[in-house]
Structure 1
Amino acid sequence: MEGDSVTLHVGVSAIERDDQILWRFGPKNSRIAEIYKQDNPTYDSNEIFRNRLKMNNQTGTLTIKNIRKKHSGLYQVTIISNGRTSDKMFRVIVHAHLPGPNIIRDSSQCSSSSSSSSSNCSLLCSAVNVSHVTLSWYKGNSLLSSISVSDLSISLSLPLEVEYQDKNTYSCVINNPIRNQSKHLDIMQLCQPCADPIQCCGSTEAVIRLVISAVVGVATVALLVDHFKSVSVGHKLRAEMSPSVP
């Protein structure tokens, strides 16, 4: 995980007097650290590793402190001992900080006409700006549904429908290959049947509905006013065109 310290072990118990150990990184096989003849380690002035590398001058192991995603990649260590050369490879994958999942009521599935009559509560579990994770709904210990994302950093949402009086235990879990975080669903808090759109569907949707209703109302009044004006003008024209009776 980002922020961890990672140690890559060479596999030797102790460096001999004339041994040389060289660490390289990335597709360009850039030199990042080296020990020769038990001297103090030397480090390359690679910007992405500035003040993060620590090499053990007794064993040659390399520690990367406060590791970030940009440090993901291939590491190679070359050991030259007694005239013989051996290589060892490490592939390091660094995962971003794992955010906790968030559970909300799904307002897109709620309507004022059905809020009081429907027996189901629509929910969404979501996580934002995530990659290499799986988002899942569990009922007790049983998996109900899941959705995964690989490389791209995106937002994930996973729906769930439960009954208002459901007594089962539900939880939403987000995990990557290293860690997981879960959030328990409080049905009594999120799933209260009601007829009030502001309470059931959220203030944003309720405001939209009120605005739409107001627009429709104004349009209806305008049409009625126009209609009555047209009728009044028609009556006036007919009255002016009718012959007067002496």
Structure 2
Amino acid sequence: MSRVLIAGESWVTQSTHIKGVDHFTTSSYVVGVEPLRKALESRGHEVVHLPAHLVPAEFPADLSGYDVVVLSDIGANSLQLAPEVFERARAGADRLAALRAWVSAGGGLLMIGGYLSFTGFEGKAAFRNTVLHEVLPVELLAEDDRVELPAGAAAAVTDPSHPALGGVSGAWPDLLGYNRVRPRAATKVLATLNEDPLVAVAEYGRGRSAVFTSDCSPHWAPTEFCEDWDGYARVFGGLVEWLAA
């Protein structure tokens, strides 16, 4: 069993309702981590979820209590700009440097795609400009890296025997988008989408890193992928288990 920290996969939505000359706003809080949490817990892993709005204040600089860290749909700013730095202009911990050092010393890092992953929507995820970029098994684009696939597209598995895929077999359900990245020289690309890396893994120092460049929940991962397909738990379980090995 591994202890897994998942940071991100939640958001707040605010809507403006206009009715004639009057208007009002409503807000909702959404958590998208449940398919991933359930998949990992079904394989015996302990999962700690740190919602996106708590990441700036609570993402730990000391990761010694975890085997694998998952960053999913959470941008670099949320990890770099703790309240004491952004609001009070005081020097604080460099948590991305601490995460890089933790992986190099033997930890496992998984980045999952989304609008605030990799380079992201309008470049706002911004991991290309950080020290964590070198830890990832892929090179990030300088521009908005999202590829929308509204008609859906299925993954092509290139290395079905690799343990990081968890022994999944058969066709994968369609996905509706992903972040485009480029593999590094030492990277193993295990699955592709539109001939771009979907699942890729690499060693980093004494640790390991991996990416899944589509999403683990809607909208890029429709219910047929993240709820109805028994391969979902195998893929993400396999990634976590390979990272923790």
TM-score with structure 1 length normalisation? 0.19
> Larger RCO: Structure 1 or Structure 2 (Cα < 8 Å, ≥ 6 residues apart)?
2
TM-score with structure 2 length normalisation? 0.19
Larger Rg: 1
